[in-house]
Structure 1
């Protein structure tokens, strides 16, 4: 089975935050492009408020069944000690699995995670039903299946669920 490099998932997770300006050779879009935008569902002059986190539902763009199951041999469910991080510019994200501890953690922290604009990485997922249970525990939050071994090694963690921000790592 072909695995997608972790960097590809981070690019997908960070894509909603890169919002380049559309350059138009005039004040208004030309008449021949105007009718196309509503048909494609592209909002015109609809800017996202800067103080509101952006959440993209990347799961609707591709069938993820081919990537499952996802197993992260360096990670397992359990408690972790919180610690400070110094990673300026890192967008918040979290690691979870399809275990009961992760699902409970997600339900309890869903509002906070949404407020932070955190994206989720499901590092232990058996099948599409398990991925659906994880996503149902935190509706409206992007959660993608990813092998978490590289992240575990780089951040020196062995347990999940965990929330990682630019300044801290903890449950």
Structure 2
């Protein structure tokens, strides 16, 4: 077995300290960089309670009419069998459509869904009026129109409405 001379270890140890220091060409940004590369920093709000559920109304940022209609060919309204999941860290979310069963389910569970901070995916929506009806059933919850085929395939589900949490899949 070959032995590495002690000098090699010493050189490797000193190599970490032999890095050249970075030099800054100019500490103050020029007028050009100031105009084109301004950094917008969000205000710091120290009153946010980390244990409280946070809701973001993403629907206000863009007109969603371009994405409609949304159809999820792997999903349809119907009954599901509840089962346990093991997905630590998964934030609760649910799948709904514009059908009467989904709207009734949303109205019935709106308070619970809001308290747990669940976000909604509207997986069957024909137009903006249908999306408005879905959102009206649970007005304080973010519900976005999204194709649900990938979620259905990954979680092996065929029907909605359904609530998905880190520990369970239920209706």
2:135 and 2:89 map into 1 onto residues whose CA distance is: 26
Per the normalisation by structure 2, the TM-score is 0.74
SS in 2 for 1:96: strand
TM-score by length of 1: 0.74
How many angstroms does 1:51 deviate by? 2.0
Distance in 2 between the 1:58 and 1:157 partners? 26
Alignment gaps of 5+ in structure 2: 1-41
Secondary structure class of the residue paired with 2:110: helix
- Equivalent position of 1:116 in the other structure: 116
**What CA RMSD, in Å, does the superposition of the two structures yield over aligned residues?**
1.4
Aligned ranges 1:1-171 → 2 under 5 Å: 44-171=44-171
Task: Give, in angstroms, the shift of residue 48 of structure 1.
Answer: 1.8
Runs of 4+ in 1 over 2 A off after TM superposition: 42-47
- 1:65-93, CA deviations, whole angstroms, 9 ceiling, x for partnerless residues? 00000000000000000000000000000
SS at match of 1:95: strand
Partner of 2:8: none
